[in-house]
Amino acid sequence: MPIRPIRYYYRKLTPGQQAVYEQLLRGLMAHETDIAVTGPHGGEPGKIFEYVLLDTPALFYVKKHWQFTDTGAGGRFRPGYLCDDAAARDMRRRIDARVDGIMRAARPGMEKPDHLQMLYTWLALHTAYDDTAASPHSHTIAGPFLHGRAVCGGYAIALKYLCDAARLPCAVVNGTALVPNGGGNAAHCWNIVRLRGKNYHADVTWDSILADAPHFDYLGLSDAEAHADHIWDTALFSSCDATLTPIPLLRSRGELAQALYTTIAQGGDCLAVRLSKRFGNESEIDAMLRAIMRRAPLRVRLRAFRFRFRVRYNREQSKLLIHIGDCPLSTVSFEG
């Protein structure tokens, strides 16, 4: 059965624009090259076209470029397509088969936050960031589900498609963001997902690049947290006032030391915290952690002697993740 999209942007239009939206959607689904629409478009045909694509991931075969002729009582859209109707139908069949397989992994009665994390984890683990952005499909659901590669737009529209299948309200957000750990500011796409009456930001692109699943920095952020490295049109979206999975905020070296000692003593394999102070890079973090471990209680030092530690610091989000144990990559030893 085709996945029915949960519309978000449709509700942001006037009744007249909604009528144009419906006519345009029907034409695009039918692969029409000349789509006549009637009704007041409010001088914003481009916005209507964009909103149809943002609400409807299954229109992956539609080009972003189009022409519009105003006829007074309506107009004519002339869209372009990435492939013909037969090829699009075949791709849709293969995409939906992949999505169906993902959805079958859900446990019966799975809570909505757990379901979202399952979908988010699948995308983060099975999609690589397409640095070249050479394929137009990297911007659509075909990128993640058929080719395993995407740019931010492909990640975001794919997460929406999965959420549509799970009946989790989800919208694609267009804005700008800082690339994690000093990559600069750039145009960016992510999602806002609604769970149990509350909204949360979700940026699977950045978590896929950080490649540390299931330890996610960008799943379930509040507005306050997202604003640290994301900018968007706040008038378009209801506020995100809560954090889906809060992590401790540590305000001193002493608090970090106690948290690390406790984790080691209890046999934990990782510690995730948010730091009130922003550090320049992971080298500064490493030096601080070495000093903390030199002052650790003997029972903690004896336990930690056998381990290596792997540190990941997200400067923009002020989040620190310490893996404890056999860490083969970028390790830090606190021995001696």
Structural domain includes residue 165 = yes
* CA gap 135, 111 in Å, rounded: 36
The domain in which residue 127 lies consists of 85-236
Structural domain includes residue 242 = no
Query: What is the tally of structural domains in the chain?
Result: 3
Of the three residues 56, 81, 106, the one that is the final residue of a domain is: 81
* Residues above pLDDT 70, as percent of the chain: 95
Structural domain includes residue 289 = yes
pLDDT tens-digit series, residues 12-66 = 999 999 999 999 999 999 999 999 999 999 999 999 999 999 999 999 999 999 9
* CA gap 203, 192 in Å, rounded: 9
Of the three residues 236, 260, 279, the one that is the final residue of a domain is: 236
**Does 220 lie in the same domain as 323?**
no
**Does 215 lie in the same domain as 127?**
yes
**Does 186 lie in the same domain as 57?**
no
pLDDT at 306: 63
**Does 112 lie in the same domain as 53?**
no
**Does 91 lie in the same domain as 231?**
yes
Query: Residue 97 belongs to a domain with what CATH number?
Result: 3.10.620.30
**Does 221 lie in the same domain as 96?**
yes
Local confidence band at 336 (pLDDT 50, 70, 90 cut-offs): very low
Of the three residues 236, 261, 290, the one that is the final residue of a domain is: 236
**Does 168 lie in the same domain as 130?**
yes
**Does 267 lie in the same domain as 200?**
no
Structural domain includes residue 4 = no
pLDDT tens-digit series, residues 221-263 = 999 999 999 999 999 999 999 999 989 999 999 999 999 999 9
**Does 269 lie in the same domain as 204?**
no
**Does 120 lie in the same domain as 75?**
no
- Do 204 and 218 contact (CB within 8 A), yes or no? yes
